[in-house]
Structure 1
Amino acid sequence: MKSYNYSTSSKSLIFKTIGEMLNEIVNAYPDNDCLVSIPEGIRYNYRQFKAEVDKIAKAFLALGVKKGDRVAIWSANNVAWVLTQFATSKIGAILVTINPAYRASELEYALKQSETSTLVLIEEFKSSDYISILYNVAPFIKGSKPTGLNSIRFPYLKNVICISQTKYSGMFRWDDFVEMHKKIDDSMLQDMENALDPDDIINIQYTSGTTGFPKAACLTHINILNNGYFVGEAMNFTDKDRLCVPVPFYHCFGMVMSNLTCISHGSCIVIPSPYFDPIAALTAVEKEKCTALHGVPTMFIAELEHPEFSRFDLTSLRTGIMAGSPCPIEVMKRVNNQMHMSEVTIAYGQTESSPVITQTTPYDSFEYRVETVGKPLPFLEVKIIDPQTGKIVEAGEQGELCARGYSVMRGYYNNIEATQAAIDEAKWLHTGDLAVMTQDGYFKIIGRIKDMIIRGGENIYPREIEEFLYTHPSIADAQVIGVPDQKYGEEICVWIKLRDGHTLTEEEVKEYCREKIARYKLPKYIKFVDNFPTTVTGKVRKVEMREISVRELGLGAASKIETA
């Protein structure tokens, strides 16, 4: 049996724009809660939400924003972010989502590479002063009027809008920008909506590559609307569900798997905080009686391990998604049992596939829901190939996971070479992930091809060791990386985060491993940490871990040895 599977559905693909879908849902569920922001004290039902979206859409038109223009948003999670997402989709402007953690050089790259015409931003994020960063990157803004931006360095940038009550030089204040909607009548907005096509590119997402500059994945209405819809279907979502969203909107997890999943089902989006905070997320679930919660594994671990976890009433929870990085089986079991998420699902994918490729369902056995990433979403094909030959491998054999279907991106913006490297002539997206397909068509992710450790000729998959270490009662989280070694080429290094109140020594960890796993998989180096370096989405940055380990362990010489 070959490693190939696909799924169908009794539900059809949605051939609509996001704006059309929103209008239909508003007509069906006008009084349902649509968006609740706890930190801002804002609550919209669907009728109110559409009215606000239409205001923002008309305000963009008043600024001169047209179909195909790039509107970038550089912000943590808030109501204005969601309004901007749907307002741009109504006029055909392409939303460029910028990582809130970006600093000066990264912001400059994104604005120039995407040819952004309008930037929406907040004043600050954690330790970053966005206003100062922007003035440093584009000093011409500070001396300009909001309506007169013009620069040779940024030839496309014409408007900057700050989500703030303070007025900054060269920028529109959010409320003043919104008031501009009065210049545009409803018929002009309707004409613009009627001119759109579901196959239009509507979103640019920057992928966080480990080397070189981020690549800009171009996604269409069809890509992300359908992906959000079928993700919701896999969770049995209805207009009665309420989703707590602690994941960032700038990423597909927040923008598609959360916002579009809710909007396509008449469900409610609950914003617990501008950025992830375990207590804020738990409070939101209890206060708003959320039925679903999303997060990457590190977020669920932070919630479960918080000293105050037991005081929260989470019995309203039913489902949700754990995704973004490999989901530890032991953590999945605790989410099922201690957070009452008996129908929690695992999703797998990447930005280039809008993002979900496979997902488990509440109907899958517990074994499959904790040990696999499910089957392909409807109307998607998945195969596993030998990375060297490109041939499909037999079920049970490891290889690279490839996907094909409606969710595959149009390509990378202004980067034909990278597009051709990611998507082959037969339209298969090559993910770079190592996976296995079971005999009954479920998929298991082994790790990234680039993350695989080769020690003395033995292929070692970090996730296998990580899953084993999670079974130790004192270990809350473990991350395994390869570090250079003069004798074996690479050695195994593990970073361990202990449970509160627990202690463990290096020798005790090694002894625990000696009894259970093969000698060549035994970690040589062990580092105890309080936290791991992560991206804004909560993904562990193994590249940074490796750099730190090489430096601290004095492996610089070994890292410079050339290999074939």
Structure 2
Amino acid sequence: MQDRLTIPHQIFAAGRRFADRVAIRGEDGAELYYRDLEPAARRIAAAIVASGVEPGDRVSIWAPNRPEWVLIALGLQAAGAVLVPLNTRLKGREAAHILGKSGAKLLFTVGNYLNTDYRRLLDGFDLPALTAMIDIDDAAGWSEFLARGDGHEVEIDRRLNGLTEDGLSDILFTSGTTGLPKGAMTAHGQNLRMFRTYAAKLGLREGDVYLVVNPFFHSFGYKAGWLSALISGATVLPHATFDAPSVLQRIEAEKVTVLPGPPTLYQTLLAAPWRERDLSTLRLAVTGAASVPETLIYEMGNSLGFEVVLTAYGLTENCGVVTMCEAGEPIAIVANTAGRAIPGVEISIVGDNGKALAAGEPGELLVRGDGVMRGYFEDAEATAKAIDTDGWLHTGDIAVADAAGNIRITDRSDDVFIVGGFNAYPAEIEGLLAAHPAISQSAVIGVPDPRLGAVARAFIVLRPGHSLDAATLTAWCRENMANYKVPRQIDFVDALPQNASGKVQKFMLRAGQA
């Protein structure tokens, strides 16, 4: 049974293999050993079963990085449920859409994180499938929840026996060209195969100390984070909120060896008083963006002390990873490319006619292989648009390959831009802006920003008889959308430039011709 290719089976097997090692250490210093993973997760699984969750039901987690997040994820998967993580930056309207679309039956959340009570954000939204919200921070309520599972141990054995590698492990919601988040469905086996390969290429090994600042709700923090670490025998250090001084202190105090993150994370650390800390244990870093400055890669090695710095490219619809650089490659390759397709993944760069292009020619990046999602949850039309009849996933990203097969992402189709490591989708932001009673139309583009890489700029057409100013709209946006989506620049215009079919011509907005 321990050899089954499901996430709970493999983590529980790791629990026996690395029994006396620390598996997870919280920011408060509390430690959980590998031998503790299975009993802790099984107890949560039993309580989830007692709460009426059946195999295949969706269960959501809306909480920052912390040890309980991992145990709840393992518990719900052991119970046969499907994990639906929620971005901690979402507001009520955004979270309610995902909870409603997925039909999540349970929600695990926190009463207060960065002065936000997530439960209150959902007040007023109709979520008929949601039967309970469990506050992880309510000690009495949590104990009561766990007590529900008493006597359900045999049922957990049955649920675990029923898990297969082809069963869904998670649905991660990502936005697309329609502006509405879509749930990418992936299975246990494909995730494990992809991230065993990822861990091996990265060089993760038993005894590593892996500081996970990347959020668990994202594949970078979940699959490339704690999942990769635990199947490798590393110690996971969940870190809830990135803050350079606290991260530097933790690297020194806990002898961190692995620290992945977006380029902005390392740039921020280099701007902080890093010389005051002993960072000599740092060994592995992995980052990625359309472009990473060569100077940053150099400083990560020579100033922060990383022995290996790799870049990678991935997307949620392919379990989170597609290409990676190799250790020891020149800085120019690491900085300017995202490496080559990892084993089990096939890529092709095609032109508008769908034909493969030669090295050096930019085109759309297609992906095929074991990592491709099972489809978008309850959205056959979107699935058919994303995955063609030959099994190719159309990423919508524009890429160019060199003669060795290293790819470089040169642009994002559908006007997607990246804000501090987060993909921002103009259509989704426009859809959220449409909920404002004074707004008739909006168009959003990404504009360069020296700190975040890019930020949103919104062009707004007001409804007749309404007035609105930038400060008021910004405040409304901060209440109704994740901070990285909030437009930093707002222009009120009489009309948006459109072509004959009524499509907004965003190239004119970028050129300042609105």
Q: Determine if contact 2:257/2:281 at 8 Å carries over to the other structure.
A: yes
Larger radius of gyration: 1
Specify the alignment match of 1:99 in structure 2.
87
Considering Cα pairs closer than 8 Å and 6+ residues apart, tell me whether 1 or 2 has the greater RCO.
1
- Is 1:448 matched with 2:436? no
Superposition map of 1:38-117 within 5 A: 38=27, 40-117=28-105
Report deviation, 1:391.
Answer: 0.7
What CA deviation, in whole Å up to 9, does each residue of 1:90-142 have, x standing for no partner? 122001111111212112211110011111111123243213223333xxxxx
Quote the RMSD (CA, aligned, Å): 3.0
CA distance in 2, matches of 1:446, 1:339: 28
Report deviation, 1:281.
Answer: 1.9
SS at match of 2:449: strand
CA distance in 1, matches of 2:151, 2:289: 42
Specify the alignment match of 1:320 in structure 2.
285
Specify the alignment match of 2:245 in structure 1.
279
Report deviation, 1:450.
Answer: 3.4
After superposition, the Cα gap between the structure-2 partners of 1:492 and 1:349, relative to the gap in structure 1 and judged at 3 Å, is closer
Report deviation, 1:318.
Answer: 0.7
- Is 1:22 matched with 2:26? no
Superposition map of 1:207-286 within 5 A: 207-209=174-176, 211-272=178-239, 274-286=240-252
Between the aligned residues of both structures, percent identity stands at 29
How many residue pairs get matched?
453
Report deviation, 1:37.
Answer: 0.8
What CA deviation, in whole Å up to 9, does each residue of 1:418-473 have, x standing for no partner? 11111111111111111111111111111212349xxxxxxxxx99xxxxxxxxxx
Q: Which amino acid is 2:373 matched to?
A: M
After superposition, the Cα gap between the structure-2 partners of 1:394 and 1:325, relative to the gap in structure 1 and judged at 3 Å, is closer
After superposition, the Cα gap between the structure-2 partners of 1:280 and 1:210, relative to the gap in structure 1 and judged at 3 Å, is farther
CA distance in 2, matches of 1:322, 1:424: 30
CA distance in 2, matches of 1:562, 1:396: 32
CA distance in 2, matches of 1:493, 1:53: 44
Q: Determine if contact 1:222/1:406 at 8 Å carries over to the other structure.
A: no
Specify the alignment match of 2:270 in structure 1.
304
Q: 1:363 aligned to 299, 310, 328, which one? A: 328
Specify the alignment match of 1:145 in structure 2.
none
Report deviation, 1:336.
Answer: 2.0
Unaligned runs of at least 5 residues, structure 1: 1-13, 138-152, 168-172, 453-461, 464-475, 483-490, 499-532
- Is 1:157 matched with 2:130? yes
Q: Which amino acid is 2:337 matched to?
A: T
CA distance in 1, matches of 2:490, 2:213: 33
Report deviation, 1:211.
Answer: 5.0
SS at match of 1:331: helix
Superposition map of 1:503-514 within 5 A: none
CA distance in 2, matches of 1:134, 1:451: 30
Specify the alignment match of 2:473 in structure 1.
none
After superposition, the Cα gap between the structure-2 partners of 1:382 and 1:421, relative to the gap in structure 1 and judged at 3 Å, is same
CA distance in 1, matches of 2:87, 2:16: 34
SS at match of 2:40: helix
What CA deviation, in whole Å up to 9, does each residue of 1:480-518 have, x standing for no partner? xx9xxxxxxxx99643349xxxxxxxxxxxxxxxxxxxx
Q: 2:146 aligned to 158, 169, 178, which one? A: 178
Q: Determine if contact 2:297/2:331 at 8 Å carries over to the other structure.
A: no
SS at match of 1:436: strand
SS at match of 1:177: helix
SS at match of 2:357: coil
CA distance in 1, matches of 2:446, 2:127: 46
TM-score by length of 2: 0.82
More divergent stretch after superposition (220-229 vs 63-72): 220-229
CA distance in 1, matches of 2:131, 2:343: 41
- Is 1:201 matched with 2:138? no
